Amino acid sequence: MELHIMNTSHVVTLPKTLLAALTLSGCAVLAGCAGTPPTEQFAVTNTVVKSAVAAGGPEFAPAEMKSAQDKLAQAETLLQEQRYDEARRLAEQAEWDARVAERKSQASKAQKTLQDSQQGVQQIREEGMRAPIIVQ
C-alpha cells in the first residue's frame, strides 16, 4: 500500500515503510501524552491531605481521612508501577476525600464553638437572675 499525495505539479509516492513509521510515531506521541506521571495532581493531593490532618481530620472525620490516606498510598503504588491514569484517578479521589474530611472537621469545630458560646450565655443569664448581694 502506498500513499499518494497530490501536489499542483506532481504526485509524491510514500513507501509502505515510511507510512508505517509515520503511523507508529504518531501513536507513540499520543501514548506519551497519556502516559505522563501525574506529578501536579500528587502535589495538590498531598497538600490537601496535610491540610485536612492539620484541621483535625483524624479526630473529627476519621473515615474520610483513612479513605484519603489509603487511596493516596494506592495511587503512589500505581505511580511506581507507571500506571499513570489509574494513579491520577485515585489521587483525585484521595484529594476529594481529604477535602470532605477537612470540611467536616471545620464544621465540627464550629459546632463545638457554638455550643461553648451558648453555654457561656446561659451561665451569664443564670448569674443575672441571682439575687443581688447588697453590702451596707
Where in the chain are the domains? 42-106
Tell me how crowded residue 64 is: count the other CB atoms within 10 A of its CB: 22
pLDDT digit string, tens, across residues 18-29: 445 555 555 444
CA distance 42 to 79: 10
Query: What's the grid cell of residue 3?
Result: 500513499
Query: What's the grid cell of residue 112?
Result: 463545638
Confidence of residue 17 (pLDDT cuts 50, 70, 90): low
CA distance 25 to 114: 63
The pLDDT assigned to 29 comes to: 41
Q: What is the largest CA-CA distance in the chain?
A: 121
CA distance 88 to 71: 11
